[in-house]
Chains A and B, each alone.
Chain A
Amino acid sequence: MPAAPTGPSVPRLLAFAVPIVVALALLPRFIDLYQTELLIYGLTFAIAALGFNLLLGYTGLLSFGHSAYFGMGAYTVAFIVRDLHVQSMELCILGGLLSSLVISALFGYVCVRHTRIFFGILTLALSQVLWSLAFKFFWVTGGTDGIRVPRTSITLLAGLMDFKGPGSYQRFVYAYYYYVLVLFLIATVVMWVIVHSPFGKALQAIRDNETRASFVGIRVRRYRWIAFVISGSFTGLAGALWVPLNGLTTPEILYWPFSGEIVFMTVLGGFRTFTGPIVGAIAFNYLKVYAVASSQYWQMVLGIVLVVMVMVLPTGIVGTIGRFAARLRRR
């Protein structure tokens, strides 16, 4: 169950969330630059997985094309920086959000006509349209070379902070960590409100029984479409935040295996829980980085983890911890 019918009370929620937020805010004091950077990657992926899970966990639709919205956010930022010479990260994010909203509204309008496997294939096919365009129109997108977005070309907080000159890398990582953290917290709160709103309950009703949901008067297709657009926009925001950190955007993030990675993160954390995708995304990022660093066969390591997760722990990290906690409480 994603949540009790009424949801946890606000004081209990705060008691759970505040220590985590404080810990996240203090963490850069205790870990080095590289670890901080890894954590930023983890947080951006967490936003993407959070958005993705609105479809998988709450609406019951498995999208295999979320790379499209991540990539749309990322490429939009790259275009804005390169072609419009805009420096303000806020404007870039706004542009990335808007473009991923438009493209997910368009793709979603088509995709929500189907469910189950057809939905998955349709999202996959449409995402690959974007990939092939980014891949082929190299004079616009740079082809496989991608587009560079150096951190020196952006400023945070409406030009208050720029990252030129000596020591700028360090300043960038620490500043950007808090920047992403704040946006991550906003995204999490917004998503929490969405899934606990009447709209979120309606989505869960659709997931559990489409026919009954339409009998009680829920406009199933419309609701799925709105969920799709919200989901795509969250993933687009993640893509926009990811670009300056990575310094480069390539067609890789539009290619379908990246969609698979987003699914992987969510399942790793557990898609039946609200916090699952967040935990899963951060864990996946560490897992991938360390697998890549320690072996040239890192894909095999990830694949084995995924297979074992699905076979043995289908409820993911958070679901498994929850089960253990419940068992302990009963004793």
Chain B
Amino acid sequence: MDTLAIQTLNSIFYAAVLFLISAGLSLIYGVMRIVNLAHGTFYALGAYVTAWAVGSVFGATAGGNWVLAGQLLLLPIGAFAIAVVGAVIEPTLLRPLYRRPEEYVLLITFGLLMILEDVMKLLFGGTPLSAGSIMDSMGSISIGRLLYPTYNLIVIGVGVIAAVGLWWFIYRTRFGVILRATSQDRRMASALGLNVGRVYVQAFAIGCFMAGLGGAVVVPAQAAVLGMGVDALILAFVVIVIGGLGSLEGALVGALIVSFVRTAGIQFFAEIELAVLYLIAAAVLLIRPTGLFGRA
């Protein structure tokens, strides 16, 4: 029973991180119709930036409560850094290509992935970078006879807050209306006097922020390593394909499905755990191409 509780918490923890990444990917696709192959790399970059910032300000050892508070405050720096990176990339590299076939944008993001993977190697070196001191100093709570790290609960909290916040932002604010209008009909939005170029920059930056935040919150629990972005991207793809490209609710449900299937997979069918996920994605695309929550 306790094991079940732990596994459930693990799945939700994993779903929270996956939701942050996929919501960003989905938002960018929904508004701009861009499949961003570098999105996983943004997530990895966010993890590296946060781990590096926390490590260089506070060192690797766990400190008292004040140090912990400082470390937690420093955590989102990865997300903001990636948002800035996104705000620079969209107008310089992506905007000139919107008039060309979509293949070109896809290729640019693939080139970007290759460049950023090596930028990480150049800036942070080949060794894994961790902010594990945060996790250590937060201790753990007991669930029945077992222990569970307190920090993971914070990540779950961040995931929930991000989901609610994003929903509020998109469905309850003026900017959200503009965002949805642009995603539904770019020309009409432009004809009505909206600055579509600015909406695109903002949407791309928010999407990148989400990816960076995913990396920032995961890095105290798992060290940042080279190649983590390439792995994460495919899982994020699976999530938004299951949930529906461009749908926020879809990203949430997709993230939950993927992480529970993964947790169950690791328990019961470890060899085909990943294959099952990809097959689920393929099956959803076949039966319901718009995903569970997508609109055509």
Contacts and interface: CB of A to CB of B under 8 A. Distances in A.
Contacts of B97: 310-311
Interface in B104-121: 104, 106-108, 110-119, 121
A310 B270 contact: no
Interface in A284-331: 296-300, 302-307, 310-311, 314
A206 to B, nearest CB: 15
A122 B111 contact: no
Nearest to A259: B110
B241 interface: yes
Given A120-B106, A128-B274, A297 B289 contact: no
A132 B107 contact: no
A interface, over-half SS: helix
Nearest to A110: B286
A126 interface: yes
Contacts of A121: 35, 237, 241, 281, 285
Contacts of B1: none
Interface residues of A, number: 42
Contact of A129 (B111, B116, B119, B278): B278
Contact of B93 (A56, A133, A298, A307): A307
A303 B114 contact: yes
Given A118-B289, A296-B121, A132 B115 contact: no
Interface string B242-276: 00010000000000000000000000001111110
A114 B285 contact: yes
B interface, over-half SS: helix
Interface in B228-245: 230, 234, 237-238, 241, 245
A129 B275 contact: yes
Interface string B271-296: 11111001101100110010000000
Interface string A105-139: 00000100110111011101110110011011100
Contacts of B289: 114, 118
Contacts of A234: none
Contact of A136 (B106, B230, B272): B272
Q: Report the 6 A-B pairs with minimum CB-CB distance, sorted nearest first.
A: A303-B114, A132-B274, A306-B111, A303-B115, A300-B118, A307-B111
